[in-house]
Amino acid sequence: MAKTRIIVGLSGASGIIYGIRLLEAARELGVETDLIMTETAAEMIEIETSLSPEQVAATATRVHQSNDFTSSLASGSFSHQGMVVIPASMKTVAGIACGFADNLLLRAADVALKEHRPLVVVPRETPLSMIHLRNMLTLAQAGAVILPASPGFYHQPVDIQGLVDHVVGKVLDVLSIEHHLYRKWREEDGK
């Protein structure tokens, strides 16, 4: 049976840890990942974590350069179970919403929408302008799932990892990938 394969796009919003955790979780779950990181995402890794972009890239199954439009990911013939843009900057949200595919991440997201494959967008910005909200509405209307980097607290997280895992777990839920990243509401008492 073919392995589950997802595209992970990291863009240059704060919260790059969400994308890094998704790559790690996918690897732990045996899910293959095709990674695209924008130039700003690589800078964000240096700014927000103690990792290098190369170390993050090493957790993916395959890595694609964001300026490489000859990549298989630029074509609708590339088969995958979904694409996740995590975190999604407002620039990247705007680019996808306009079909302005001037890097490989934007092109792959554009392709996911035209091919009706799952596209999960995890925006990170606050507060949101009307332009941001309109762009996200456009994406939702085009079939994307808008999944804000907005963790719940009902599973009583005790650290940042617990918060991050909740958001990443919700992403995996959308893609129907089983995981144990967070305890679901009433999972244990069966109510």
Ligand X SMILES: Cc1cc2nc3c(=O)[nH]c(=O)nc-3n(C[C@H](O)[C@H](O)[C@H](O)COP(=O)(O)O)c2cc1C
Contact 25, 102 (CB under 8 A): no
Residue nearest to ligand X (CB): 12
Tokens of 185: 């509401």
Q: Which residue has the tokens 């494959």?
A: 117
Query: By C-beta, is 33 or 66 nearer to ligand X?
Result: 66
Q: Does 125 participate in binding ligand X (rule CB under 6 A)?
A: yes
CA angle 173/175/180 to nearest 5° reads 35
Tokens of 133: 């909200």
Q: Does 90 participate in binding ligand X (rule CB under 6 A)?
A: yes
CB of 11 to ligand X, least distance (A): 4
Would you give the binding string for ligand X spanning residues 41-80, x where CB under 6 A is met? x-----x---------------------------------
Contact 104, 68 (CB under 8 A): yes
Q: What is the DSSP letter of 183?
A: P
CB of 77 to ligand X, least distance (A): 25
Q: Does 128 participate in binding ligand X (rule CB under 6 A)?
A: no
CB of 154 to ligand X, least distance (A): 25
Name the packing angle between helices 16-28 and 160-174 (round to 10°): 60
Q: Where does this chain bind ligand X (CB under 6 A)?
A: 11-14, 38, 40-41, 47, 89-92, 124-125
